[in-house]
Amino acid sequence: MPESALLSLDAISLKHQQQNLLSNISLSLSAKQIMTIIGPNGAGKSTLIKVALGLTKADSGTIYRRPGLRIGYMPQKLSLNPLMPLSVSRFLAMAKSDRKQIAAALARTGIQHLQNRPLHDISGGETQRVLLSRALLSNPDLLVLDEPAQGVDISGQTELYELISDLRDELGCAVLMVSHDLHWVMAQTDTVICLNQHICCHGHPEQVSSDPEYLALFGRRHAEAVALYQHDHDHQHDIHGDVVCEHKHHD
C-alpha cells in the first residue's frame, strides 16, 4: 500500500501549549480512495488536514506526498477582508489565469452566472462553490475538503455533496475530507477516520459505527442516527436520491 499511496502520515504528533492537538496519527490514502475524518469539535480535524497539506508543521512524525501530486484544497471558509475588492473570476485567476479553464470550472460547479460578481456579494453556498471551483483549477489528483458544506442550508448541502461525489467520479481523484454529513459518510466513504486527538477507530463506515470507542465519543443518539442512515441506505439502494427527503421527515 505505501508505494501506491498518494499521501501517507506516519506517527504524526502536534502539541500546542502543552496540549495534545494530534497524537500518533498514521494514515494512508491511495488513488481514488475517499477518506472522511469525523470527530467532535476540537478533535483536531482541521489541524490534521493542515498537517497533511504541509500548511502546519507537526512536532514529530513523517509525511509522504507522492512527488508531483496535484492537490485541490477547499478551505473551511473564505475569510476575505471586507475592504478587499475582488470578483469571483479574479479570485479564481489566482489559481490559473486561463479564462477558458476558469469559465469551465465555474460551469462545472454551476455558478457561471456569478463570474463578475464581487465575492462579498454572494451567498454562503455560492461561496463554497467558488472555493470548490478554485480547487478544481489545479486539476487535482487529490481533493482535500474541510467541512465543505459549512454555512450551507440543508438542500444546498445535499446538492453540494452530490456535486462533490460526481466530480470525484469524473476526475477520478482521491478525496480527503472533514464532514459531519452522516449520509455522505455512510454512503460515499471508503474509509472513516474517527478522530479525537488520536485516531479512535478507523475502517469502513459500517465497521466504525459499531465500534465502542465511536459510540463512546458520539453517544447513542448519534449512533442510532447512523444506524438509521445505514438502514435507509441499504433499503433504498436503487433509488438512492430520495434518502435526503426522508432525512427531513425523521428530523
Partner 1 sequence: MIDILLYALLAGLLVAAVSGPLGALVTWQRMAYYGDTLAHSALLGLALGLALQANLQYSVLVSCLLIAVVLFALQWWRDIALDSLLGILSHSSLALGLVCLSFIDNQSLDLNAFLFGDLLAILREDLVNLAIICALVLGLLWRYWSALVALCAHAELAEIEGLPVQRLRLLLMLMVAATVAVAMKIVGVLLITAMLIIPASAAARVARSPEQGALLAALIGGLAVCGGLAGAWYWDTPAGPSIVLSAGCLFVLGQLAPGYRRSN
State the residues that interact with partner 1 by CB under 8 A. Answer: 16-17, 50, 53, 55, 71, 73, 75, 78-81, 83-87, 90-91, 94-95, 118, 120-121, 134, 138
Please, which residue, 83 or 239, has the CB nearer to partner 1?
83
SS3 146: strand
Given the complex with partner 1, which of 22 and 186 has the nearer CB atom? 22
Indicate the residue among 16 and 204 with the shorter CB distance to partner 1.
Answer: 16
Q: Please, what is the minimum distance in Å from the beta carbon of residue 191 to partner 1?
A: 23
The H helix count followed by the E strand count for the chain is: 9, 9
Output the smallest distance, CB 135 to partner 1, in A.
9
Measured from the CB atom, the residue of 95 and 104 that comes closer to partner 1 is: 95
Distance CA 209, CA 109 (A): 32
Could you tell me the smallest distance in angstroms from the CB atom of residue 81 to partner 1? 5
Q: Residue 204, Cβ neighbours under 10 Å: how many?
A: 11
Ranges of beta strands (E only) in the chain are 5-16, 19-30, 34-38, 60-65, 71-74, 142-146, 174-178, 191-196, 198-203
Least spacing, CB of residue 57 vs partner 1, in Å? 10
Closest among 58, 64, 24 to 196, alpha carbons compared: 24
Local structure of residue 237 (DSSP, 8 states): S
When the beta carbons of 19 and 41 are compared against partner 1, the nearer one is 19
Contacts of 218 (CB under 8 A, 6+ apart): 40
Question: Shortest gap between Cβ of 44 and partner 1 (angstroms)?
Answer: 15
